[in-house]
Amino acid sequence: MSSLWMGFAVLLLIATLFLLLPLLKKRKTDEVAGSDVQQDNVLIFRDRLAELDAEKEQGTLEEEAYQALKAELEKSLLQDVAGKQQLEYKNQPLQVQQAVLIFGIVLVLMISSVAVYLHLGRSDDYADYLALKEQGETVQASGDASQKKAPDFATAVKMLKKKLAENPDDFDKYILLANSYAAMGQFKESADVYATLVKRIGPDNKDYAAAKGSYAQALFQAQGEQFTEEVNAAIEQALVADAQESTALILKGIQAYMQAEYAQAIEFWQQAKVKAGTMQTQRFIEPAIADARSKAGVPLAEAVAVVAKPTQPVANGAAQIIVNISLAPELQAKVSPEHTVFVFARAVGGRMPLAIERIQVKDLPKRIVLDDSKAAMPTATLSTVEQVDIIARVSLSGTPRPQAGDLFVQLDQVKVNAGKELNLVINQVQP
């Protein structure tokens, strides 16, 4: 640290010399120039007076004229001397101003150097930030909190909380703060931070699904790695926002694995690879798939084929709603065949889907059966309600959240198990 301050001192000295030398040089030049001018004025006065004396002696200049011209010369010389003194008097405050200016510049240089050092050069904050970012990525990818460095993360937590107090809209720092808590094994605090982030960004933000998935993961760890209703709800909300959200799919795979549904687990993890990072894939997904394959005792291709088998028809009397979905001819030009169509049932006045199926525009018209096998959550199914609202939506963004330009149709207060098929035509445009 002492060498750093010595460096500051040397740099300030050099900067001061660069400022002083031109001013001192100018002052010396001004003094020399002033002295030369004064000597020239005296010589001119003497020469002119000698000329007047010679003309008087030769009789070409009368006494009266001689005295008048001599008085004029003396007056001119006095004015030149007075002007020189006045100039020196005026220059004196200017030199003081220059000294104050130099001192001010040096002071500004010193203060700004210290400020820049404190803001950018604090190696402890910067090192903590980099360590936090690297460790946070590692913890998020591996889910292993044993790789923590508690003192470093404790310092980083203080720094990040201070930064967030100054700028609560810095979403990246919420993620770093949540990951640092997770690295220290404080999963409840990590979940709380993610919950705050989810509320701040809102469901219309493109990062909402990822934040919701990370919240589900932290909550899962905070609740003793149990898939509680709250954890399941967070997972499903993330997948409703983005069906390819990697963290939520990983959790779905873990849940299937814990239930010895290894083929289903493999399918979820394969889907998670679409958006998962390289580190996350290498450190968790690939080893998990390999382990599930060994436990399932079947090759990967066969395991995936098992998952892909069509759902068996529901038993007679089970809760179900049959819907025939089609697209109005006048709206077909507004969408492409690959646009996603969501068909779902939700409790009257509710928001969480009780059953959902996703197809594409090119699949229309299509007959769809909504039942408990297509529930978004095991604890929220068609069997739990008597009436639902049915919505079919062509999503231009690929998510079920309504956005301007989407095409949709909605039928409210439909009785479950009414015993008849519904015909719905998508004929409205979302304003």
Percent pLDDT > 70 in the chain is 58
Instruction: List Cβ neighbours of 11 (8 Å cut-off, separation of 6 or more).
Output: 113
What tens digit of pLDDT does each residue of 288-341 get? 888 888 877 755 444 444 444 433 433 444 688 999 999 999 999 999 999 999
Q: Are residues 178 and 233 in the same domain?
A: yes
Question: Does the pLDDT value for residue 13 go beyond 70?
Answer: no
Q: How far is CA 327 from the centre of its chain?
A: 40
pLDDT at 112: 46
Which long-range contacts link 130-138 to residues 24+ away (Cβ below 8 Å)?
131/156, 132/156, 132/160, 132/176, 132/179, 132/180, 133/176, 135/179, 135/180, 135/183, 136/175, 136/176, 136/179, 136/180, 136/182, 136/183, 137/179, 137/277, 137/279, 138/279
Q: Of 273, 307, 341, which residue constitutes the final position of a domain?
A: 307
305: CB partners within 8 A, 6+ apart: none
> Does the residue 292 lie in any domain?
yes
Mean pLDDT score of the chain: 72
pLDDT for res 393: 93
- Is the pLDDT assigned to residue 89 strictly greater than 50? no
**pLDDT tens string 125-150:** 444 444 444 444 444 444 444 443 44
Same domain, yes or no, for 262 and 174? yes
Q: Which residue among 247, 273, 307 closes a domain?
A: 307
Range of the domain at 176: 144-307
- Residue 85 pLDDT level (bands cut at 50, 70, 90): very low
Count of domains forming the chain = 3
> Residue 19's pLDDT is what?
56
Determine the pLDDT at residue 420: 81
pLDDT value for 421: 87
Greater model confidence, 141 or 217: 217
pLDDT of residue 132: 47
- pLDDT confidence tier of residue 399, bands split at 50, 70 and 90: confident
Give a yes or no: residue 126 inside a domain.
no
Residues 73 and 107 in one domain: yes
Confidence of residue 239 (pLDDT cuts 50, 70, 90): very high
Q: Tell whether 289 is covered by a domain.
A: yes
Highest mean pLDDT range out of 13-27, 70-84, 88-102, 351-365?
351-365
What average pLDDT does this structure show over 369-396?
Answer: 81
Q: What is the pLDDT of residue 186?
A: 83
Say if residue 298 is in the same domain as residue 324. Answer: no
Residues 116 and 150 in one domain: no
